[in-house]
Amino acid sequence: MIVIGGGLAGLSSAVALAEAGHRVRLLEKRPHLGGRAASYVLPGGEHVDNCQHVTLGCCTNLEDFYRRVGAADKIRFFDQLLFAAPDGRRGAMESFPLPPPLHMALSFARFPLLGWADKLAIARALLTIARSGGRPVEISTGSVTMLDWLQKHRQTERAIRRFWEVILVSALDEELDRIDARYGIDVFWKAFLSTRGGYRVGIPCVPLGELYEGCREAIVGRGGEVLLRAGVRGIQVTRNQVTGIEREDGSVETADYYVTAVPQDILPALLPADVVEREAVFLNLRNLRTSPITGVHLWFDKKIMGEPFLTMLDSTTQWVFNKTQLYGGGAATEGQYLQLVISASYNLVPRSRQEIIELCLNELRGVLPGIREAKLLKGTVVKETSATFSPAPGSDQWRPAQKSPLAGLFLAGDWTFTGWPSTMEGAVRSGYLAAEAILSDVGAPRKFLRPDLPAEGLCRFWARES
Ligand SMILES: Cc1cc2nc3c(=O)[nH]c(=O)nc-3n(C[C@H](O)[C@H](O)[C@H](O)COP(=O)(O)OP(=O)(O)OC[C@H]3O[C@@H](n4cnc5c(N)ncnc54)[C@H](O)[C@@H]3O)c2cc1C
């Protein structure tokens, strides 16, 4: 089997196929594994993630994948979400021993950064979501935006800004008026309502690249190969059947089955033009729009942040991660490395790196007062202009299943149809689904896909069969 692409989709399909007893050859264009969820070393020697990546307790397949490749203990889960207002006031959300969907009600009631009118409006809307099992009928067409739905459910302006937007823009990397309400509502159902632990934030305590060390072993140990700097230039097709792939060095390789796990804007360029024109599955990929994420890396000479991470309200900066603490740097470590994340960062794309750093530093001053005595030693901005596909109304119709219309070719990638947005969980689901589709084709079906966390408490009665 040949797998093209060493991001999470390619790695998870390759590991699953290897576990099923197949010899896999994984070809990755870059010098490292992980794709968009990778890390690398800067010229100054700092090991940085492409961007901070977090997982949630409800990401059952990513958790399964990390376990398979021996990386599960490199993810630390946090039970408390800490929010900061621009004046520095903090508010926490966490779970209490009450049956879902009431498990977060106590911390929500005490949350100081929302007023009673906001909380009442939010509670009403959350109850509507919970009682519909995460699927209110009025959004079933896939044409309603999240903002439309929130306005229909009479959310206050502050509830939208300080609650719905804060969670959804970072979970889905898109603005509320461009999100299919089904995706938005699913986030609340899976992470915050139906289970007690779905909202827990999992953060790697090592650079992302170290999470994939066990993948090579899982593939090579079963007779396969992982090749880096091994870009594929084209997929050869004869009468609707894939017959081989051509590598960038001109060599041609053949296999019984091929999995492509490259981004959706790259796949059509690898296929013969007439095949793309003929097959709507490939032609329609151009309809999937993408949205940007900006990461800002700041190194200070002093410690200015005590918390492991913070969500910032009413500011351009959305999340601040205390990388020094997350990587286990104790009190003896000098200085501090913070990573800031801004999702759906359309406004930042045209701005200069210096401007972005100054904007973020200004916002941090209110929230982390210690910054006034600290010196910024170094700052880097990473703009990912096509970070994820946009979960816009109608986007599902362009997401293909993992079995392609070409014999021998299977598709993986966060953009293929998984029901999940563009996330690491979505990528792993796609990889498992591609492997399952191949194994069915071979006549030796096997399940890799893990189910969602089972609904608990009152939500057990409201949950619907998928
Ligand atoms: C800035 C940023 C922040 C994010 N934050 C989060 C987060 O916090 N949580 C979360 O769950 N998700 C997050 N995501 C999304 C997540 O990274 C992706 O959904 C996921 O990694 C996609 O995996 P993939 O394997 O589908 O694609 P990719 O990771 O894009 O992998 C595709 C691979 O194919 C390779 N490739 C391309 N062309 C060729 C070729 N011709 N030959 C061989 N190989 C090729 C690429 O080099 C790459 O390694 C973030 C994404 C970005 C960009």
Please tell me the predicted confidence (pLDDT) of residue 329.
81
Give the pLDDT band of residue 466 (cuts 50, 70, 90).
low
Confirm or reject: Cβ of 211 under 6 Å from ligand 1.
no
Alpha carbon 352 to its chain centroid, in Å, reads 26
207 lines ligand 1 (CB under 6 A): no
Residue 152 DSSP symbol = H
Q: Which atom of ligand 1 is nearest to the CA of 230?
A: 43
pLDDT digits (tens, 9 = 90+) for 31-69: 999 999 999 998 888 889 999 999 999 999 999 999 999
Find out whether 134 and 201 touch, Cβ atoms under 8 Å.
no
User: CB neighbours (10 Å) of residue 106?
Assistant: 15
Q: Residue 83, class by beta-carbon neighbours within 10 Å (0-12 exposed, 13-18 middle, 19+ buried)? A: buried
* Protein residue with least CA distance to atom 12, ligand 1: 423
The residues, ordered by sequence, that sit 6+ positions from 331 with a Cβ below 8 Å of its Cβ are none
Task: Compute the distance between CA of residue 401 and CA of residue 393 in angstroms, rounded to an integer.
Answer: 18
6 touches ligand 1 (CB under 6 Å): yes
The Cα–Cα gap between 10 and 33 comes to 10
Q: How far is the CA of 247 from the centre of ligand 1 (A)?
A: 20
- Straight-line distance from the first to the last Cα atom of the chain, in angstroms, rounded to the nearest whole number: 31
Secondary structure (DSSP) of 18-70: HHTT---EEE-SSSSS-GGG-EEE-TTS-EEESS---EETT-HHHHHHHHHTT
Nearest to 349 by CA among 393, 387, 379: 387
Secondary structure letter of residue 2 according to DSSP:
E
pLDDT tens readout for residues 115-160: 999 999 999 999 999 999 999 999 988 899 999 999 999 999 999 9
Average pLDDT over the chain reads 97
What is the distance between the alpha carbons of residues 88 and 312, in angstroms, rounded to a whole number? 9
Residue type at 211?
A: L
Cα separation, 140 vs 289, in Å, equals 21
Tokens (6 digits) for 368? 């982390």
Burial profile 355-388: b = 16 or more Cβ within 10 angstroms, e = fewer: ebbebbbebbebbbeebeebeeeebbbbbbeebb
Distance from residue 36's CA to the centre of ligand 1 (Å): 3
The pLDDT, as a whole number, for residue 337 is 96
Closest residue to atom 36 of ligand 1, CA basis = 5
Residue 465 has a pLDDT of: 60
Separation of CA 25 from chain center: 26
List the residue whose alpha carbon is closest to atom 41 of ligand 1: 232
Q: Is 423 in the pocket of ligand 1 (CB under 6 A)?
A: yes
Q: Would you say the CB of residue 391 lies under 6 angstroms from ligand 1?
A: no
Cα 433 from chain centre: 17
**Residue 358: predicted pLDDT:** 98
> Do the beta carbons of residue 190 and residue 198 sit within 8 Å?
yes
- Sequence-distant (6+) residues with CB within 8 A of 83 are 90, 91, 92, 93, 111, 113, 162, 166, 310, 311, 312, 313
Residue-wise pLDDT for 75-101, tens only, equals: 999 999 999 999 999 999 999 999 999
Does the C-beta of 231 come closer than 6 Å to ligand 1?
Answer: yes
Cα–Cα distance between 24 and 257 in angstroms, integer? 10
Which helix (H) or strand (E) segment is 429 a member of? helix 424-442
**Per-residue pLDDT at 169:** 98
Is the CB of 457 within 6 Å of ligand 1?
no
DSSP one-letter code for 161: I
Q: What is the mean pLDDT of residues 7-18?
A: 98
Global pTM value: 0.98
pLDDT digits (tens, 9 = 90+) for 231-278: 999 999 999 999 999 999 999 999 999 999 999 999 999 999 999 999
What mean pLDDT comes out for the span 174-190?
Answer: 98
- Is the per-residue pLDDT at 333 higher than 90? no
**Count of C-beta atoms within a 10 Å radius of residue 209:** 19
Cα-to-centroid distance, 43 and ligand 1 (Å): 23
The residue whose CA is least distant from atom 5 of ligand 1 is 53
Q: β-strands 309-312, 81-84: how paired?
A: parallel
- The CA distance from 393 to 343, in Å, is 19
The total number of residues shown for the chain amounts to: 466
Ligand 1 atom at minimum distance from 295 CA: 1
Whose CA is closest to atom 48 on ligand 1? 35
Q: Which structure tokens are listed for 166?
A: 């804060």
Q: Report whether residue 266 contacts ligand 1, using a CB cutoff of 6 Å.
A: yes
Ligand 1 centroid, distance to 263 Cα (angstroms): 7
Q: Is the CB–ligand 1 distance for residue 285 below 6 Å? A: no
Q: Read off the pLDDT of residues 396-417 as tens digits, 9 standing for 90 and up.
A: 999 999 999 999 999 999 999 9
Distance from Cα 379 to the centre of ligand 1, integer Å: 24
**pLDDT over threshold 80, residue 331:** no
Which of 393, 465, 441, 450 minimizes the C-alpha distance to 177? 393
Q: How far apart are CA 304 and CA 456, in angstroms?
A: 39
Do the bridges between strand 225-227 and strand 25-27 make them parallel or antiparallel, or are there none, so unpaired?
A: parallel
Residue pair 455/129 in contact (Cβ under 8 Å)? The answer is no
Ligand 1 lined by 387 (C-beta under 6 Å): yes
Answer whether 14 contacts ligand 1 (Cβ < 6 A). Answer: no
Nearest protein Cα to ligand 1, atom 3? 51
